[in-house]
Amino acid sequence: MCENACMDTDWEDLKTVFYLVEAGSLAQAGLRLGVNYTTVARRITRIEATLGQQLFLKAKAGYTPTEAGLQVADAAAHMENHNHRLRRSLSASQDQMTGTLTITVPPLLVGPYLAEVLKRFRDKYPNVEMNVRATIQTLDLNRPDADIAIRISNTPDGALVGQRLAKQRTASFASYEFAKTITGDPDQPIAWVGLAHWKGPPKEVVQHYQNSKIAYQFDDMTALIGAVQNGLGVVRMTMFLGLTTPGLVQVPLLPPKPYKDVWVLTHSDLRAAPKVTAFKEILIPYFKGKASEFWGKEV
């Protein structure tokens, strides 16, 4: 149905069908497209009128695509993939160090580590604009949401090419003042600070300190860190975070435990792109030099 008709249809409308099929709701499709939900609804109405087909069944639970809607979404997906391949190809073939380099990275890695890499790269290549997307979401490098992704994972995307930047461990940390209150007495109550999904203190701690309990829970890591800095309790966190956060000290309640590694990943089409290669030539040695901060030590 869509092979010829879609060629005469507005690309933004076609793309909107694709994103709505994936998201299932106007609001979620709008977030991914960077528009509001009323714009999504208007585009759907327009393309249905243009094609003379109902593309979605509308209900309170969301938008369910019809067979025609699935056909249109499939055609739009192929067109978008072709567009992305073209953009990656053009980026990879550009031999001048100009334009924009987009990087996605977990927010907590920016201050203590990535900022220095960005500065060194910018000093060396002043004509390249840096677009940093600091997020814990896994952005899609196939679309191109980013040229380079720095991710914390034990199972990085096998469709991408990459290299491990650092092996990580976690341990227990507290403020200096709170650390002084830990006596080693197994009957001592230990207050822990955790994220909202934590069910209780680490099992290894409860075995030795039976009166340990989660005293505070937060739904945001930055808020949790602030709480621990101000002496509300002990937290398990990655070594790099504990060692680079002012006012915290490692406490011997938990032995260091392996955690997810830090990786740098790119799409295979961009592995030899000049800007990507130049950035990794600064990024990788810098992180290798900081390896001890991610692995930590026994206390």
Domain ranges of the chain: 2-92, 97-299
Residues forming beta bridges with residue 62, ordered by sequence position: 59
CA dist 105 and 205 (Å) reads: 32
| Topology of the domain covering 97-299 | D-Maltodextrin-Binding Protein; domain 2 (3.40.190)
Pairing of strands 160-175, 191-195: unpaired
What is the model's pLDDT at position 193?
96
26 token code pair: 């106007």
Q: What is the pLDDT confidence band of residue 86, given thresholds at 50, 70 and 90?
A: low
CATH class for the region spanning 2-92: mainly alpha
Interval 89-117: pLDDT, tens: 666 566 678 889 999 999 999 999 999 99
Q: Which amino acid would we find at residue 149?
A: A
Per the structure block, which two tokens stand in for 117? 């890499």
Please, are residues 1 and 66 in contact by the beta-carbon 8 Å criterion?
no
CA neighbor of 274 nearest in space, from 86, 87, 84, 91: 91
pLDDT band at 118 (very low <50, low <70, confident <90, very high): very high
Cβ 128 vs Cβ 100: under 8 Å: yes
For the segment 53-72, the average pLDDT, to the nearest whole number, is: 88
Q: Between the CA of residue 283 and those of 11, 71, 163, 264, 280, what are the distances in Å?
A: 37, 43, 11, 9, 5
Q: pLDDT tens-digit profile of 120-163?
A: 999 999 999 999 999 988 777 667 678 999 999 988 887 788 89
**Predicted local confidence at residue 4, as pLDDT:** 55
Could you tell me the CA-to-CA distances from 164 to 79, 138, 155 in Å, in that order? 33, 17, 11
Q: What is the pLDDT of residues 167-188, one digit of tens each?
A: 999 999 999 999 999 988 888 9
pLDDT at residue number 152: 94
Per-residue tokens: 48: 């249905």
User: What is the pairing mode between strands 257-267 and 148-153?
Assistant: antiparallel
pLDDT for the residue numbered 88: 57
156 vs 205: CA distance, rounded Å: 31
Helix (H, G, I), strand (E, B) or coil at 192: strand
Share above pLDDT 90 across residues of the chain, in percent, rounded to a whole number: 60
CA-CA distance, 35 to 291, in Å (whole number)?
Answer: 41
Q: What is the number of helices (H) and of strands (E) in the chain?
A: 12, 11
Q: Confidence class of residue 5 from pLDDT cuts 50, 70 and 90?
A: low
Measured CA to CA, the distance from residue 164 to residue 126 in angstroms comes to 27
Specify whether the CB–CB gap between 162 and 265 falls below 8 A.
Answer: yes
Amino acid, res. 182: I
Structure confidence at residue 225 (pLDDT): 96
